[in-house]
Amino acid sequence: MKPVYPKAGSYPDFAKLVDRENAQVDRRVFTDEEVYQAELRQIFARSWLFLAHESQIPNPGDFVRTSMGEDDVIVVRQRDGSINAFLNSCPHRGNRVCMVDAGKKARGFICNYHGWSFGIDGALRGTDGKVYEKDETFEKAQIGLTPVAQVDSYKGLIFGTFDPDAVSLLEFFGDFTYYLDIMLDNDEGGTEFIGGAIKSEIDCNWKFPAENFVGDILHAFWTHQSGAQAILGGGVDLGKRYDELAFQASIYGHGIETNLDKVGNTRTLGYPDLVDYAFDLSEKAKDRLGDIRARAIGAVSSCTVFPNFSFLPGQNTFRVWHPRGPGKIELVVWTLVNKNAPDHIKEQYRKGVMMTFSPGGVFEMDDGENWEYSTRVNQGFVTRQQPLHYALGIESADMERDLPGHIHKGSLNDANQRLFYTRWAEFMEHDNWTDLQNGATAAPKKPATAAE
């Protein structure tokens, strides 16, 4: 059967929930079921979404199970070394054909409802045998697992999209790869995920954590102050680490903020050896990345790749905010390290991530509580009539710094959040990629690679 992919529509009324002129966002974007269902169609069925790291599936038959929006997906290495992804749903009655989170060297997947089996290429290999005996019209070659329309990778990170007409992964990123390379290309040996994944659920809308990581360093000075003091000792003031070099950058709704302090994030993991490692890495990476990106390797920084993939340079936590309704997410967290890093450094990163950004982490508990209350409170009938304010730093655009994207001075503003929601509105409004890529969130006309 030929795969059937959803076609994008147009939701101009929903797009108007983001008021760019007044820098306001209607609270219904966090609570309304109709808005959420439109997001699944307009955003999660069209965007390039993070699937896995290549290090998780190094050999043919290796696989991981993940989600694209609310669609269950299997990502599997093929016998020729390529990577494919398929809906984890039997075409007979829809049951899962894979129940586990990951596996090695699988030969195929079998539905435990009627025994239909599928190869790692998604093709139907057989049933319990009785179908062929009684139904001569059964055409095995025409039935299989529905493939994800496009799968591609960027420096170890695997992404997929259900939209066969979507632009390439590199076009989806645009010049934001310049900032992704801070974590993905600061060492010639490349990167890997270590220690498996940590999964948890948070009763919040998926956009709250995504916008938090896209550029909200402001909350750290209040929300995380006590946690930072517990790890680093009394007298710590996170605000003092910010200087005139801090900036935000955004392209196509992807965003990063950093203050270029070299090791601020790394210090909060609590291991002096990691601070030394990050500092040395920052110095060595200057020739590879230039001074600005090298200084951001371990700095107090955060990043979101639109719509729902985030990471923290220095703390090395990578995460996806899988939507599970307007008021719930499944959070999956990994630890990324350089392959060439010493084993004891990798282990300290793993433990540091667990201590800070895990269900019991000193920072993640802070964040989760804030996101849950924000989601819950916004459900009030009168409350959700009041627009939310996103106008901090409205005049902070930096037209002088020669960096890719929309650049804003300092990090203590809502610049990247405004562009994140502008991109959200673009996806809601437009049914074609030409308009999406030419919208307000596209990078200003600058060189593809900015001079340091």
Catalytic residue from among 163, 175, 216, 414: 216
| Cα gap 180→173, rounded to integer Å | 9
DSSP character at residue 332: E
Out of 367, 406, 408, 430, pick the active-site residue: 367
Contact (Cβ atoms closer than 8 angstroms) between residue 139 and residue 127: no
105-124: buried (b, 16+ CB within 10 Å) or exposed (e) per residue?
ebebbbbeeeebbbbbbbeb
The span from the CA of 239 to the CA of 426, in Å, is 34
Q: How far is CA 409 from the centre of its chain?
A: 24
Closest CA to 8 of 35, 41, 39: 41
Q: Which residues of 128-147 are buried (b: 16+ CB within 10 A; e: fewer)?
A: eeeeeeeeeeeeeeebbbbb
- Asked about 114 being catalytic, the answer comes back as yes
254 classed as catalytic: no
Are the CB atoms for 74 and 108 separated by under 8 Å? Answer: no
390 Cβ partners below 8 Å, 6+ apart? 23, 24, 25, 414, 417, 418, 421
- Could you confirm whether 219 is annotated as catalytic? yes
- CA angle (198 as vertex; 194, 204 as ends), nearest 5: 140
Label residue 65 left, alpha or beta by phi (over 0 means left) and psi (-120 to 50 means alpha).
beta
Write down the catalytic residue from 114, 181, 398, 431.
114
Catalytic residue among 128, 219, 273, 291: 219
Q: Which of 62, 163, 224, 261 is catalytic?
A: 224
Reading the block at residue 298, the tokens are 């371990």
Which residues carry out catalysis? 114, 216, 219, 224, 367
